Amino acid sequence: MTQLHRYLSRLHDTILSRQEIKIEALEIFDRSDIVNQSSEFYARLRFPDDSTLEIVEKLLVEQLVIRKTRYVYHYQTSDNRLVFRYDNAPHHPEIATYPHHKHIENQILPASPPDLSDVLREIDNHIYFSQKDHTG
């Protein structure tokens, strides 16, 4: 199993380990050939509160290092309101981490490319810990 396949398996296993998440779409495109190892990973996940996460990762192996040449982690509420989006679209050169950045509502913030596990933890915090306790 190649390094790229192990990485893709880890993404897949990370999603499958979260039994409360409904997988609406999951596609892995292997674009590898003799010269280049590259793949694309796409998933659309639905959470118990009906919020959704769309994931896009375009991956390329260069000198034994997996590089995300393009990525998007777009998380939104059930009524399609953006909660956050990480991406590396090159349209905010003023950001210190250009092209990597994070959208939170109307803000654009510096950000490092996140790992899927980090994104899922952030969503957990949003769903389970940011809601007000109305029992008292």
Nearest CA-CA partner of 46 in 19, 14, 69, 8:
19
pTM for this model (two decimals): 0.90
The rounded distance, in Å, linking the Cα atoms of 130 and 82 is 15
- pLDDT, residue 59, reads 95
Nearest CA-CA partner of 38 in 62, 10, 63, 9:
62
Residues 99-130 pLDDT 10s? 999 999 889 999 999 999 999 999 999 998 87
> How does the average pLDDT of the chain come out, rounded?
91
